[in-house]
Amino acid sequence: MVKHALHKKVKQSYTARFQQPPQLVVRAPGRVNLIGEHTDYNDGFVLPVAVDQAAWLAVGVAEPPLTTVRALDIKNDEVIFSTIEVPSSVGGWADYPKAVLWALLERGLQPSPINAVLASDVPVGAGMSSSAAIELAFAFAWVTLGQFDISLPDLALLCQKAENQYVGVNCGIMDQMISACGKAGHAMMLDSRSLERRYFPMPEGVAIVVSDSMVRRSLAASEYNVRRAQCEQAVGHLQAYLPEVKALRDVSLRQLKQFGRDLPEVVFRRARHVIAENDRVVKFAHALYGGDIAAAGALMVEGHRSLRDDYEVSAPELDALVEAAVEVPGCYGARLTGAGFGGCTIALVAEAAVPEFKAHIVTAYNERFGKQPAVYVTHPADGVAAIQ
């Protein structure tokens, strides 16, 4: 494996700051979601890939009781907190390692105090799960150094709990699970209820192209939690007619139309998106398995329209990127990826068409909004691991 530039950077910075080499360097990837948006917290299906962009953490055991973490991407910002008690939340990047520590303490484990240096090339606020990458990096480091018996799927659940209950973002399990369990060259279909995972190889000759709108949003401050509450409202209403329903995953479109007539119009549309999106994930997986990339691409465009119109989490910049993408011959489909409200779009593009695709996206976006999107090709990567 060719060493990543951030691998060397965090090792060198750790050695300079703490006057000894790190015991461990951990890489935890970000992700893009091919399809299945806002379905995971509804017990549904998602189909993400772990990506090249990742959080890198050089780490070693420190003298008790204090943990020291330096973030190279944030002007060498450094935080110090105790590992023997729950640290206070002050907001910002440092809440993610603190949240993981809290979750480990909640589990009855006593993590070692650590010295750590963090760097990441996962864009922050772009919908590529920069927070989950940081959580998994710290969780993996503490579990490895402490020799705790926690599987990767269980580690993902621990990090989800950390983000839900400490950070205060009611995310589903997708981001943490793909960062933990991604597989190079493959997309992972995840059943968010059973946590069953199936891997589908990405087709040869097809690139995953991410276009960053450069519109940033704070997930905790966005309407993410509002959408989740609206889905729960729909479930509560439908349970009066369908007692077996536990989540929107259990409802068909026919049942929604039959029993959801009295729902507020906006709540009905939220539920319609989730139910239809679950169906799109299953169809997309079948298309990948059968090598029908055109069908997969059409499902992406359909999903974007649903996110725009029924779930209302798109933005003019994201819509413009999708519109520009599908104008290019060789683009099979495009959609926003992540929670929305800004961030990135994702497109499946024939590799031969990538140069033209990138040029067209940049020109069209700049003409409309007067700014440059970041456009780059990414590849399905492995999940969290120690990198020697």
- Which residues carry out catalysis? 175
Same domain for 194 and 222? Answer: no
Q: Bridge-partner residues for 187, per DSSP?
A: 200
Please provide residue 376's backbone torsions phi and psi, each rounded to the nearest 5 degrees: -150, 155
Q: How many domains does the chain have?
A: 2
- CATH code, domain with 64: 3.30.230.10
Is the preceding omega at residue 65 within 30 degrees of 0, hence cis? Answer: yes
Distance CA 381, CA 319 (A): 27
On whether the CB atoms of residues 239 and 181 are closer than 8 A, the answer is no
Same domain for 185 and 287? Answer: no
Same domain for 260 and 341? Answer: yes
C-alpha gyration radius of the chain: 21
Same domain for 196 and 210? Answer: no
Same domain for 214 and 185? Answer: no
Same domain for 51 and 77? Answer: yes
Same domain for 86 and 72? Answer: yes
The predicted pLDDT at position 222 comes to 64
Question: Please, what are the averages of pLDDT over each run of 10 residues along the chain (388 residues)?
Answer: 83 97 97 95 96 96 97 90 92 94 97 97 83 97 98 98 92 93 97 96 93 77 83 98 98 98 97 98 95 96 98 95 98 93 94 98 97 93 95
> Which candidate, 44, 41, 47, places its Cα nearest to that of 250?
44
Residues in the chain: 388
Same domain for 145 and 220? Answer: no
Same domain for 216 and 116? Answer: no
- Nearest 5 degrees, angle CA 79-CA 85-CA 88? 50
Distance CA 372, CA 353 (A): 20
Same domain for 32 and 82? Answer: yes
Tokens 């659940």 correspond to what residue? 157
Tokens 């995840």 correspond to what residue? 190
Q: Which domain holds residue 80?
A: 5-200+382-386
DSSP letter assigned to residue 386: E
Same domain for 65 and 135? Answer: yes
- CATH code, domain with 293: 3.30.70.890
Same domain for 222 and 189? Answer: no
